Structure 1
């Protein structure tokens, strides 16, 4: 019992400097305060205005983000001309420098199906899903041009841009709609016509000739009368379908 009491006293003796140091510092600070400075702050109270300031900053940031989403929701093409976009991407497309998180140095042959499933967002989402202001729309021509090859006019493969399959499908639909509405130009193959009029003279569009009149003993096709079936094959067919022949 005595040994345990001695151990406890030694342990408290070791901790006493660390316990007394904050109180001594607090007393020195109180001595340095001028007279009439108001009530002294408590040793164990944390300033509450810091919590209020942090909460207000978070609320302001959330309000600004919601306002930005609402601002570019109806007119997503305005985002590509804003200062926010220029500071974030510059003159490069939104998929420039993107690299998907994958195991090893060789990327997979296909991108993921989707980056957002319900409320869960995967790690390092695709260039379209990671920025909520990047909205695929058939009138957002500058965004669609970033995913179209200027040499072939075809949409880039998702393995090059890193876009998930869900956004790639929306991208194809938006490009087709934009071309139908005239927002995007595309090349039509040149076909040289001879100038002849085949509207009535060609057999495919001309009048149907009347049916040939058949006489007794004549066949519609001349070569049909020259065909003679094999007797062995005819016997096999008759034997096989004997029950059905009348």
Structure 2
């Protein structure tokens, strides 16, 4: 044991031998593969290579956030007037389709997985057009002023997803009193109260003579001669002469 320790100490006391061994075992740099770096090293977020956003991008983002909270302000902005003028958002829209006959139904949705399709519907193509029950001016563009019903999506080109949201917003706006109801006209000149014999209480049976009707309002019913002749012609083989 003492002899081995002395041998190791003698080797360590000779530095020239250690350097020679290291130089002989050091690999040649020419034999190492050369690797080219095609991307810069990792950078901290504070040292990103992106440029600062311009004033135009910042203004567009602020406008989008403002219209998101108050979508009805977009319809009164200069941007909307410059783009649509006095027309509705769906006027002049035409969906791309094969052939000259348009499909009977619009697409289910225009945005799938964060990707927007080509030629989206009038609502999906403009991010500032947001359906909300308080956005009355937008909802009125999709309601017929004559019948009060919502336009069919085949006329406006709105996708089915936005059409469902549109119908729901119209119903909610009507429930809150923001949109009027269309009530059909009823002629109240006739008597519809409960005092009429047809809807009133049944009178007690009386002594009827031959040929007298049980209810007096049946006496006034007289069929037309044309209808009687038509029935006789159909059932002439079964009528007794």
Q: Return the TM-score normalized by structure 1.
A: 0.55
Count of equivalent residues: 154
Could you tell me which of 98, 106, 113 is aligned with 1:103? 98
Tell me the distance in 1 between the aligned counterparts of 2:192 and 2:113. 61
Could you tell me which of 127, 131, 139 is aligned with 1:132? 127
Q: Any residues of structure 2 matched to 1:179-218 within 5 Å, and which?
A: 179-191=174-186, 198=194
Could you tell me which of 54, 58, 63 is aligned with 1:63? 58
Tell me the distance in 1 between the aligned counterparts of 2:94 and 2:193. 57
Could you tell me which of 82, 85, 94 is aligned with 1:90? 85
Gaps of 5+ in 1: 1-53, 207-246
Tell me the distance in 2 between the aligned counterparts of 1:168 and 1:106. 22
Gaps of 5+ in 2: 1-49, 202-241
- Structure holding more helix per residue: 1
Compute the displacement of 1:60 (Å). 3.1
Compute the displacement of 1:136 (Å). 0.6
Partner of 1:152: 147
Runs of 4+ residues deviating >6 angstroms: none
Partner of 2:156: 161
Looking at CA atoms only, which structure, 1 or 2, has the larger radius of gyration? 2
- Give the superposed CA RMSD: 2.8
Q: Return the TM-score normalized by structure 2.
A: 0.56
Compute the displacement of 1:159 (Å). 0.8
- Distance verdict in 2 for CA 1:175–1:55, change over 3 Å: same
